[in-house]
Copies of this chain bind each other. A is one copy, B any other.
Amino acid sequence: MSGRVTIRDVAALAGVSAGAVSLALNDRPGVSVPTRERIRAAAEELGWVPSQAARSLARLAPGSDTVGLVITRPARQLGLEPFYMEFISGIQSVLEERSATLLLRLVRDREQEIAVHRTWWRTRRVSGAVLTDLTEADPRIPALAALGMPTVAAGHPGLAGGELAAVWTDDAAAIAEAVRYLALLGHRRIARVGGDPHLGHTAIRTRALAAAAEQLGLEPPRSVPTDFSGQAGARATRMLLASAHRPTAIVYDNDIMAVAGISVAAEFGLHVPADLSLIAWDDSQLCRLTHPALSAMSHDVHGYGALVARTLFDVIEHRGTPAGPAPTPVLVPRGSSAPPAR
């Protein structure tokens, strides 16, 4: 992928003539719509740029303060939980101050995500990018580090590998606080409805939960993975409540699953918090709208997005080494947690 990509490279990948590529990319007639789309996709995949002159001119365009965000999740899932919209709204709050713009793209896999970042950067469509949903040994980290594009990884530096600026929340400390609180109330059998096990922060919480429970002499806690949706949270809660060793407290990895947990408890005829304590995560306004209101590990997701965006502008403008932790989520006890019955 080094060196200059030519029209011939694009033609070879798209399986057409160089002439067809020229027609398609110049928006001239003579190429069918599907072929034109294939050619454009090939050009994008290769990071093709019209010419050095065009690249220089593109730099002059106003509005070059554009930040790229590529998300590898199904479109449907994006609307399911409040986290992403709050995170994006936090980024936008900083962009708005600078009259800057967000370039937002959904893709199917990591390879496509890397290709999009590469094209955006080479064609100067963005001045920097935000990475989210870090996984262990994330292939995007070395790829984007090699690109030299200003990038901030929203995730633990252990996942960002020291190659990219990172802004993170201390998930391990937060879940340990939740477990200590429940143990102080007298709970001995705690379970968790977790998120996507492939995500780095989910794995961090799973390990920290087990470690905290062991340290406090609690039963080994069970973590059930989900896709973060309310429906999956309901299913996981049913599974936990139907088991022989029913937990007396459940910690959720977001808030919409905890809302679902309240309803499932009612299905089982259990009273919250007398029969079952529930702790939500992220603490969007949802937690204050249920009855009883949900105790939560409160995480200012909007502020987290804003910190990520400010850090990115620090990187773009070469202001020091700006990486650092966002505030650790804090426990906000409300009506859904209490000592266990008996």
Contacts and interface: CB of A to CB of B under 8 A. Distances in A.
A260 interface: yes
A50 interface: yes
Contact of A58 (B61, B76, B85): B61
A101 B105 contact: yes
Contacts of A75: 89-90, 92-93, 96, 302
Contacts of A6: none
Given A76-B302, A78-B89, A102-B105, A63 B119 contact: yes
Interface in A189-233: 229-231
Nearest to A98: B37
Report how many copies the assembly holds.
2
A256 interface: yes
Interface stretch (A41-49, A142-150, A159-167, A172-180): A41-49
Chain A interface, >50% SS class = helix
* Number of chain A interface residues as a range: 35 or more
A28 to B, nearest CB: 11
Contact of A57 (B54, B289, B293): B54
Interface of A: 25-27, 33, 37, 40-41, 43-44, 48-51, 53-54, 57-66, 75-80, 82, 84-86, 88-90, 92-93, 95-96, 98-99, 101-108, 119-120, 123, 125, 229-231, 234, 256, 259-260, 262-263, 266-267, 284-286, 288-291, 293, 301-302, 317
